[in-house]
């Protein structure tokens, strides 16, 4: 049986190492027959090359600042020379300076606020805009970006990153509305906690992960493959009429308000 992404061309932005969400998504997309290109920051060049040693035809594109129009233009110029268009784009990028996690949220500096917003939210707009001409060559496209519940509700320790995720969610909806007539879909996955490089910088992350696994309706953690499988759905023809959506891949954690038995189990 052909894979769900057979013949499709995808760009995954934000490849880091084998623990990253981007790599989990890549494995699911490769399994389903997609041909992939990746962006990575320079510091991950060696690890990215190592990961892709077994992926035939994969293209690696350096991108250190995904909100920078010049760098994004160079990525799509190089991609256009390799791929005859693009069917999907995955945004798996986030960053906030360490001080924003260490300090009170109320003490976030304007400079750090801009860095978090540019890297984690505006980058979705910049990368989607850059992809438009390549999507048009294929009659449309699908964009999937990674978000977190801390953009919907207050999550201890997440601070300015929560504000960036709220902005990212909103950018997703505006892009979905504007690009829908060109058959370009834009959706987000709200993922449960995963132990990655970025997650390590969030104070209290292991506690969040423990409580989430113990109290979520399904009483278990997610892994990066779950993000991959949901991405496959949204980028395949199965998801053709889904856009502007936030799909929670979190074992159901987000539906809870207060649940007494869960509180008991979390002790």
- Number of neighbours of residue 118 by Cβ within 10 angstroms: 17
In the complex with ligand NAD, which residue's Cβ is closer, 34 or 199? 199
Looking at 148, 149, 174, 253, which residue is catalytic? 148
In the complex with ligand NAD, which residue's Cβ is closer, 153 or 240? 153
User: Of 166, 148, 138, 255, whose CA–CA distance to 208 is shortest?
Assistant: 148
**Least distance (Å) from ligand NAD to the CB of residue 84?**
25
Please indicate whether residue 19 is annotated as part of the active site.
no
Please indicate whether residue 148 is annotated as part of the active site.
yes
Element (H, E) at 163: helix 160-179
In the complex with ligand NAD, which residue's Cβ is closer, 9 or 146? 146
Looking at 44, 76, 149, 158, which residue is catalytic? 158
**Least distance (Å) from ligand NAD to the CB of residue 93?**
4
**Least distance (Å) from ligand NAD to the CB of residue 199?**
4
The phi and psi torsions of 232 (rounded to 5 degrees) equal -60, -45
To 5 degrees, how large is the angle CA 28–CA 223–CA 96? Answer: 100
Region of 106 on the Ramachandran plot (φ > 0 left; ψ -120 to 50 alpha; else beta)? alpha
Token pair recorded at residue 123: 């980058």
**Least distance (Å) from ligand NAD to the CB of residue 71?**
8
In the complex with ligand NAD, which residue's Cβ is closer, 5 or 189? 189
Element (H, E) at 78: helix 69-82
- Residues in Cβ contact with 217 at an 8 Å cutoff, skipping those fewer than 6 apart: 251, 252, 253, 255, 256
Question: Which residues are near ligand NAD by CB under 6 A?
Answer: 14-16, 20-22, 41, 44, 63, 65-66, 92-95, 119, 123, 146, 148, 191, 193-194, 196-199
Enzyme catalytic residues? 148, 158
């Amino acid at each position: 049986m052909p894979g769900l992404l057979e013949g499709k061309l995808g760009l995954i932005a934000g490849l880091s190492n084998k623990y990253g969400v981007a790599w989990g998504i890549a494995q699911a997309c490769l399994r389903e027959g997609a041909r992939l290109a990746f962006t990575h920051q320079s510091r991950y060049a060696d690890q990215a090359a190592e990961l892709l040693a077994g992926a035939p035809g994969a293209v690696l594109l350096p991108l250190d600042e995904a909100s920078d129009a010049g760098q994004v233009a160079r990525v799509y110029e190089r991609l256009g020379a390799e791929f005859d268009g693009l069917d999907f784009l995955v945004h798996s990028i986030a960053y906030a300076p360490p001080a924003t996690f260490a300090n009170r949220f109320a003490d976030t500096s304007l400079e750090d606020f801009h860095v978090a917003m540019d890297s984690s939210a505006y980058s979705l707009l910049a990368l989607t805009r850059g992809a438009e001409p390549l999507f048009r060559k294929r009659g449309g496209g699908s964009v999937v970006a990674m978000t977190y519940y801390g953009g919907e509700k207050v999550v201890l320790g997440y601070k300015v990153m929560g504000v960036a995720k709220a902005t990212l969610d909103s950018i997703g909806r505006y892009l979905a509305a504007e690009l829908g007539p060109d058959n370009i879909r834009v959706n987000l996955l709200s993922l449960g906690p995963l132990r990655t490089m970025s997650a390590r910088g969030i104070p209290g992350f292991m506690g969040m992960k423990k409580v989430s696994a113990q109290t979520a309706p399904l009483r278990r953690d997610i892994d990066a493959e779950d993000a991959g499988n949901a991405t496959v759905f949204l980028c395949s023809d199965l998801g053709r009429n889904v856009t502007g959506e936030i799909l929670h891949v979190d074992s159901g954690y987000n539906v809870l308000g207060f649940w007494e038995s869960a509180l008991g189990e979390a002790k």
